[in-house]
Amino acid sequence: MRQSFMAYAMSVIISRALPDVRDGLKPVHRRVLYAMYDMGNTWDKPYKKSARLVGDIMGKYHPHGDTAIYDTIVRMAQDFNMRYPSIDGQGNFGSIDGDSPAAMRYTEIRMARLAEEILADIEKETVDFIPNYDDTLKEPAVLPSRIPNLLVNGAAGIAVGMATNIPPHNLGEVIDGLIAMVQNPDITIKQLMKHIPGPDFPTGGFIHGKEPIVQAYSEGKGIIQMRGKAFTETIKRTGKEQIVISEIPFMVNKKRLIEQIAELVNEKKIEGIGDIRDESDREGMRIVIELKRDSVPDIILNQIYKHTALQDSFGVNMLAIVEGKPKLLNLKEALKAFLDHRREVVTRRTAYDLRKAEERLHILEGYRIALDNLDAVIKLIRNSADPKVAKEGLMSNFGLSDIQAQAILDLRLQRLTGLERDKIMEEHRETGELIGKLGAILADEKEIYKIIVEELNKIKEQYGDERRTQIVARSEDISIEDLMVDEDMAVTISHEGYIKRNPVTLYRAQRRGGKGKIGTTTKEEDFVEDLFIASMHSYILFFTTIGKVYWIKVHELPQASRAAKGKPIVNLLNLEPGERVSAFLSVREFVDGRYVIFATKKGLIKKTDLMSYSNPRSSGIRAIGLEDGDELIGVKLTDGQQEIILSTLDGQSIRFKEEQVRPTGRGTYGVVAMRLDEGDAVVSMEMLSHGANILTVSENGYGKRTEMDEYRLQSRGGKGIITMKATDKTGRVVGGQQVTEDDQLMLVTNKGKIIRLRIKDIRVIGRNTQGVRLIDLEEGERVVSLARLAEKEEDDEEE
Catalytic residue numbers? Answer: 106
595-600/138-140 β-pairing: unpaired
Angle at CA of residue 236, ends 233 and 241, nearest 5°: 35
**How many residues in the chain?**
799
Residue type, 683: V
HSE-up of residue 642 (Cα within 13 Å, Cβ side): 17
Report how far residue 719's alpha carbon sits from residue 599's, in angstroms, rounded to the nearest whole number: 15
Beta carbons within 10 angstroms of residue 402's beta carbon: 11
Report how far residue 693's alpha carbon sits from residue 507's, in angstroms, rounded to the nearest whole number: 24
Report how far residue 129's alpha carbon sits from residue 134's, in angstroms, rounded to the nearest whole number: 14
Q: Would you give the end-to-end CA distance of the chain in angstroms?
A: 94
206-208/470-472 β-pairing: parallel
Report how far residue 760's alpha carbon sits from residue 749's, in angstroms, rounded to the nearest whole number: 22
Angle at CA of residue 751, ends 745 and 755, nearest 5°: 20
Q: Longest Cα pair distance anywhere in the chain, in angstroms? A: 148
Residue type, 680: D
Nearest to 334 by CA among 140, 119, 153, 116: 153
The dihedral sign for the CA sequence 549, 555, 556, 559: positive
Residues in CB range of 124: below 8 A, 6 or more apart: 348, 349, 352, 353
712 burial level (CB within 10 Å; 0-12, 13-18, 19+): exposed
Mind spelling out the 3-state secondary structure of 558-574? CECCCCCCCEEHHHCCC
Mind spelling out the 3-state secondary structure of 181-199? HHHCCCCCHHHHCCCCCCC
Report how far residue 697's alpha carbon sits from residue 737's, in angstroms, rounded to the nearest whole number: 9
Report how far residue 516's alpha carbon sits from residue 509's, in angstroms, rounded to the nearest whole number: 9
Q: Where are the alpha helices (DSSP H) in 608-675?
A: none
Residue type, 609: D
Nearest to 254 by CA among 406, 59, 477, 97: 97
HSE-up of residue 33 (Cα within 13 Å, Cβ side): 28
Angle at CA of residue 56, ends 153 and 31, nearest 5°: 30
Chain-centroid distance, C-alpha 767:
60
Angle subtended by helix axes 418-443 and 445-463, to nearest 10 = 100
Residue type, 384: S
C-alpha pair distances (Å), 365 with each of 379, 388, 426? 20, 21, 12
Residues in CB range of 488: below 8 A, 6 or more apart: 503, 504, 533, 534, 535, 789, 792
The dihedral sign for the CA sequence 12, 17, 21, 23: positive
Report how far residue 705's alpha carbon sits from residue 712's, in angstroms, rounded to the nearest whole number: 16
The dihedral sign for the CA sequence 351, 357, 358, 360: positive
Whether the CB-CB separation of 225 and 212 falls below 8 Å is answered with yes
Report how far residue 488's alpha carbon sits from residue 61's, in angstroms, rounded to the nearest whole number: 70
| 784 phi/psi in degrees, rounded to 5 | -120, -15
Whether the CB-CB separation of 75 and 82 falls below 8 Å is answered with yes
